[in-house]
């Protein structure tokens, strides 16, 4: 009967192991099927036996054989056959069950496939959202945040792949698609990483100086987005020595700029790179952090052959520091005054510094040092008018335009975009130079730099300090306030190259004067030997009444005198006084050129002239221009 069951299963088209399930599904369970007297038999087995009993033995047949081996009898062997019968409707019942079961299996499989497809779609949708957000961050100049997001997406996909592997065949089949998405994530990280640029700037060489207290090493972080180059802010950078030791760390600002401040630099090649251990970059794994090491740039430090020249080079490198591909602050620069401290007075050193500045500036690619152009009253008026227009355009404030003696106005006259002013002070054996680049017209500070120079590096025989009188000028009483009913006159005077300039023996100087009110003018020239010469009014000028808003050049084209620098050298001043009333006549001897050599000292003259301001209703103003003169051999 065991074989009969197999034949029964084969006839109905099911596996033998399924016979029990088929019968239970077809006929259910009835109490008359079970044998309650049989203990220890499972319900399943009883049901199977009961249903198999539907297979009826119809005929039996067997044969008996004598078994032998090697001619020796081995016993009897029986071979039997049984003919069984199965109800006719049995086949149809089984086939119906099979169809139902197949439908359920197919539906279950379909449901699992749909669930797997939905989960995969969710995973891919989330992946595309993350990639799109990463692209948006990178396009907006947030490449570091884009990398962090890519890393998070890689980890998320990795966790999803592991989940799919343990969730059954329906999800396992989707793993290759997730692996493709993970490879896309890797490609995205490479694209973002390759777009990051570390820029050491347009100056890649620094001179090591014995007196340098601190070196400022600038660097920039950028990212490419299409045709644009965007700054990367809040990016940690590090500076490594030639030996690979990290010597400084810095964080970029919103413009992408970072500054390393180092107290000492030795000759060699220094590396600037990303600091993968700091900030958001610390969230990246070891592989991504290692890949970031390829993003780098370098600077070279070398000993200066001449400390003075090396210091000037370093100062200009700081002043014009900027990304290698960005434009300069200005391409046309004029040299403003080089003065000692806050005195606005020059020295022999001033001309030496100007000469070295000119030499170093001409080495800058694309930069032109503008030579002084001829000045006259028309040129001065046009420059001031343009300066006022630039000031109004650049700022909504009501601040007055720069003075006519300022570097901002002088830069306009010379066709420059900016003027370079320098002041220096002495601290023991070190000279500290402060350099400021000022915008033409507005006097706005575009850049500033400080550099230390050893005093021993200054060329031998060059006087560092201004003349003694310039260092400690005799104190003058402050000008008295205007009378209550009289306004204050805004009076301006400057040398033709501006305030604080240093002139060499043989140079010719002219001065320009202007007032904002019609006024009588009186000008006194004080040379380095403290000789006082009244240059206006003079024999040819009349009373010296001058209209407001105009510019007076002294000496003018028609004047019969000129200012040519001769010994003695040192500090020279021109005092200017303006009043709505005529000034009293000052005592003195008239010279051949029509000027007057005054007899009184400056304090007495000041006292006399300031008496005019005390008269009721009198408008009054005074000012002075200072220049320094030196010998020709400087």
Residue 111 has a pLDDT of: 86
Predicted confidence (pLDDT) at residue 27 exceeds the cutoff of 90: no
Separation between Cα atoms, residue 71 and residue 69, nearest integer Å: 5
- What's the token pair of residue 245? 């030791």
> How many structural domains are present in the chain?
5
357 with 319: CB under 8 angstroms?
A: no
- Whether residue 374 lies inside any domain: the answer is yes
Determine the Cα–Cα distance for residues 492 and 497; give it in Å rounded to an integer.
14
What's the sign of the alpha-carbon dihedral 411, 414, 420, 424? negative
Between 556 and 337, whose confidence is greater? 337
226 shares a domain with 139: no
DSSP conformation class of 327: P
What Cα–Cα distance (Å) separates residue 94 from each residue in 9, 22, 54? Answer: 10, 7, 14
Residue 13 CB: number of other CB atoms within 10 A? 11
Of 194, 221, 245, which marks where a domain is finished? 194
Q: What is the helix (H) or strand (E) element at residue 217, kind and residue range? A: strand 215-225
> For position 410, which CATH number holds?
3.40.50
Do residues 449 and 541 both lie within one domain?
no
Instruction: State how far the Cα of 302 lies from the Cα of 363, in Å rounded to an integer.
Output: 18
The answer to the question of residue 317 being in a domain is no
Give the relative orientation of helices 2-12 and 19-27 as an angle to the nearest 10 degrees.
Answer: 70
Quote the CA–CA distance of 219 and 205 in Å, as a whole number.
13
Give the rounded distance of the alpha carbon of 437 from its chain centre: 20
Residues 293, 400, single domain; the answer is no
Give the tokens for residue 4.
């009969």
Judged against a pLDDT cut of 50, whether residue 108 lies above it is answered with yes
Measuring CA to CA, which residue among 112, 123, 116 is closest to residue 160? 123
Mark which of 167, 194, 221 sits at the end of a domain. 194
pLDDT (tens digit per residue) in 279-325? 888 888 888 888 888 899 999 999 888 889 988 998 898 888 888 87
Tokens of 304: 């200066």
Comparing CA positions, the residue from 187, 220, 191, 196 lying closest to residue 144 is: 196
Quote the pLDDT of residue 575: 93
Domain ends where: 437, 466, 495? 466
The CATH number covering residue 555 comes to 2.60.40.2550
Confidence (pLDDT) at 237: 95
Per-residue pLDDT reduced to its tens digit, 157-169: 999 999 888 877 8
DSSP string covering 107-155: HHHHHHHHHHHHHHHHHHHHHHHHHHHHHHHHHTT-HHHHHHHHHHHHH
53 shares a domain with 112: no
Tell me the per-residue pLDDT of 386-408, one tens digit each, with 9 for 90 and over. Answer: 766 666 665 555 566 678 888 99
Task: Please state, for a pLDDT cut of 90, what percent of the chain lies above it.
Answer: 42
Q: What is the 3-state secondary structure (H, E, C) of 591-629?
A: CCCCCEEECCCHHHHHHHHHCHHHCCCCCEEEEEEEEEE
The confidence score (pLDDT) of residue 1 equals: 62
DSSP string computed for 453-507: EEGGGSPTT---SPPHHHHSPPP-PPPPPPPTTSPBP-EEEEETT-TT-EEETT-
Domain identity same for 445 and 403: yes
Distance CA 149, CA 153 (A): 6
What is the torsional sign of CA 9, 12, 18, 19? negative
pLDDT in tens, 170-200: 788 889 999 999 999 999 999 999 999 999 9
| Interatomic CA distance for residues 145 and 534, integer angstroms | 71
- CB atoms closer than 10 angstroms to residue 38: 10
Dihedrals φ, ψ of 115, to 5°?
-65, -40
Secondary structure in 3-state letters for 359-373: HHHCCCCCCEECCCC
Q: How far apart are CA 276 and CA 19, in angstroms?
A: 67
The answer to whether residue 327 is domain-embedded is no
Instruction: Give pLDDT, residue 433.
Output: 94
Lowest-confidence region among 158-167, 272-281, 339-348, 481-490: 481-490
Per DSSP, the three-state class of 405 is coil
Predicted pLDDT at 485: 52
Does residue 309 lie in a domain region? no
In a domain, 323, yes or no: no
Residues 175 and 115 in one domain: yes
Please state which of the ranges 40-44, 181-185, 574-578 shows the lowest mean pLDDT. 40-44
Select from 349, 339, 567 the least CA-distant residue to 457. 349
> Residue 213 — pLDDT band, cuts 50, 70, 90?
confident
Inter-CA distances, 415 with 363, 409, 502, Å: 20, 10, 21
Q: Quickly state the pLDDT bin for 67 (edges 50, 70, 90).
A: confident
pLDDT > 90? residue 16: no
Asked if the structure places residue 50 within a domain, the reply is yes
SS3 of residue 450 by DSSP: strand
Residue 24 scores a pLDDT above 60: no
Residue 285 sits in the same domain as residue 403 = no
| Closest to 385 measured CA to CA, from 405, 407, 409, 406 | 409
Residue 371 forms part of a structural domain = yes
Picking from 177, 191, 194, the residue whose alpha carbon sits closest to that of residue 120 is: 177
Q: What pLDDT, on the 0 to 100 scale, is given for residue 6?
A: 72
Residue 390: what pLDDT? 64
Of 18-32, 256-270, 532-546, minimum mean pLDDT range: 18-32
Domain that holds residue 14: 2-87
- 480 plus 623 within the same structural domain: yes
Q: Are residues 490 and 525 in the same domain?
A: yes
Give yes or no: residues 76 and 99 share one domain: no
Query: Among all chains, which residue has been given the structure tokens 């220049």?
Result: 627
Q: Which of 32-41, 453-462, 597-606 has the lowest mean pLDDT?
A: 32-41
Task: Report the sign of the C-alpha dihedral through residues 449, 303, 363, 505, in that order.
Answer: positive
**Mean of per-residue pLDDT scores for the chain:** 84
Q: Which residue has the higher pLDDT, 246 or 171?
A: 246
> Which residues lie below 8 Å from residue 257, measured CB to CB, with a gap of 6+?
218, 219, 220, 231
Region class of 28: left (phi > 0), else alpha (psi between -120 and 50), else beta: left
Q: How confident is the model at residue 470 (pLDDT cuts 50, 70, 90)?
A: very low
501 class by beta-carbon count within 10 Å (0-12 exposed, 13-18 middle, 19+ buried): buried
> Which runs of consecutive H residues, i.e. helices, occur in 166-228?
169-172, 175-194
Q: Residue 320: inside a domain, yes or no? A: no
CA of 391: how far to CAs of 232, 329, 384, 388, in Å? 32, 18, 10, 5
472 confidence band (pLDDT: 50, 70, 90): very low
Q: What is the predicted pLDDT for the residue at 43?
A: 44
Q: Do 360 and 396 fall within a single domain?
A: yes
Q: Which two tokens stand for residue 499?
A: 């305030």
Pair (61, 125) in one structural domain: no
**Cβ neighbours of 242 (radius 10 Å):** 14
- Find the CATH number of the domain harbouring 216: 2.60.40.1930
621: pLDDT confidence band, cut at 50, 70 and 90?
A: very high
């Amino acid at each position: 009967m065991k074989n009969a069951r197999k034949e029964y299963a084969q006839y109905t088209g099911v596996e033998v192991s399924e016979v029990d399930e088929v019968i239970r599904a077809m006929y259910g369970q009835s109490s008359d099927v079970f044998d309650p007297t049989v203990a220890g038999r499972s319900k399943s087995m009883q049901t199977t036996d009961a249903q198999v009993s539907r297979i009826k033995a119809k005929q039996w047949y067997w044969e008996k054989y004598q078994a032998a081996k090697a001619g020796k009898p081995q016993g009897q062997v029986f071979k039997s056959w049984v003919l069984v019968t199965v109800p006719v409707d049995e086949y149809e019942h089984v086939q119906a069950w099979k169809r139902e079961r197949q439908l359920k299996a197919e539906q279950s499989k379909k449901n699992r496939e749909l669930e797997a497809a939905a989960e995969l779609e969710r995973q891919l949708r989330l992946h595309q959202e993350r990639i799109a957000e990463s692209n948006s961050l990178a396009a907006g100049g947030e490449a570091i945040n884009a990398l962090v997001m890519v890393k998070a997406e890689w980890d998320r996909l990795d966790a999803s792949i592991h989940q799919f592997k343990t969730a059954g065949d329906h999800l396992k089949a989707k793993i290759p698609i997730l692996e493709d998405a993970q490879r896309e994530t890797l490609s995205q990280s490479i694209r973002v990483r390759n777009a990051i640029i570390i820029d050491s700037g347009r100056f890649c060489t620094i001179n090591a100086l014995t007196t340098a207290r601190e070196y400022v090493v600038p660097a920039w972080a950028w990212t490419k987005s299409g045709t644009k180059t965007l700054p990367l802010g809040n990016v940690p950078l590090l500076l490594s020595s030639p030996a690979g030791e990290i010597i400084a760390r810095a964080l970029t600002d919103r413009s992408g700029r970072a500054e390393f401040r180092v107290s000492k630099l030795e000759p060699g090649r220094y590396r600037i790179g990303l600091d993968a251990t700091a900030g958001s970059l610390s969230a990246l794994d070891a592989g991504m952090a290692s890949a970031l090491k390829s993003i780098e740039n370098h600077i070279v430090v070398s000993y200066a052959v001449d400390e003075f020249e090396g210091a000037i080079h370093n100062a200009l490198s700081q002043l014009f520091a900027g990304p290698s591909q960005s434009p300069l602050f200005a391409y046309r620069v004029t040299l403003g005054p080089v003065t000692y401290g806050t005195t606005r007075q020059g020295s022999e050193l001033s001309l030496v510094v100007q000469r070295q500045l000119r030499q170093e500036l001409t080495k800058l690619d694309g930069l032109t040092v503008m030579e002084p152009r001829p000045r006259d009253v028309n040129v001065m008026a046009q420059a001031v008018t343009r300066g006022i227009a630039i000031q109004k355009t650049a700022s909504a404030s009501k601040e007055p335009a720069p003075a006519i003696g300022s570097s901002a106005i002088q830069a306009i006259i010379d066709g420059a975009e900016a003027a370079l002013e320098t002041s220096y002070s002495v601290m023991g054996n070190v000279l500290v130079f402060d350099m400021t680049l000022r915008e033409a017209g507005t006097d706005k500070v575009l850049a500033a730099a400080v550099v230390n120079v050893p005093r021993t590096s200054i060329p031998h025989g060059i006087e560092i300090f201004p003349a003694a009188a310039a260092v400690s000028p005799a104190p003058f009483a402050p000008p008295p306030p205007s009378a209550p009913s009289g306004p204050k006159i805004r009076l301006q005077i400057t040398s033709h190259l501006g305030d604080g300039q240093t002139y060499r023996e043989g140079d010719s100087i002219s001065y320009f004067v202007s007032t904002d009110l019609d006024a009588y003018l009186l000008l006194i020239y004080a040379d380095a030997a403290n000789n006082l010469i009244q240059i206006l009014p003079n024999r040819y000028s009349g009373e010296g009444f001058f209209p407001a808003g105009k510019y007076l050049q002294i000496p003018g084209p028609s004047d019969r005198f000129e200012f040519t620098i001769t010994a003695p050298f040192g500090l020279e001043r021109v005092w200017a006084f303006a009043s709505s009333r005529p000034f009293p006549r000052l005592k003195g001897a008239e010279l051949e050129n029509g000027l007057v050599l005054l007899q009184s000292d400056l304090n007495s003259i000041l006292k006399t002239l300031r008496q005019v301001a005390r008269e009721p209703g009198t408008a009054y103003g005074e000012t002075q221009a200072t220049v320094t003169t030196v010998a020709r051999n400087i």
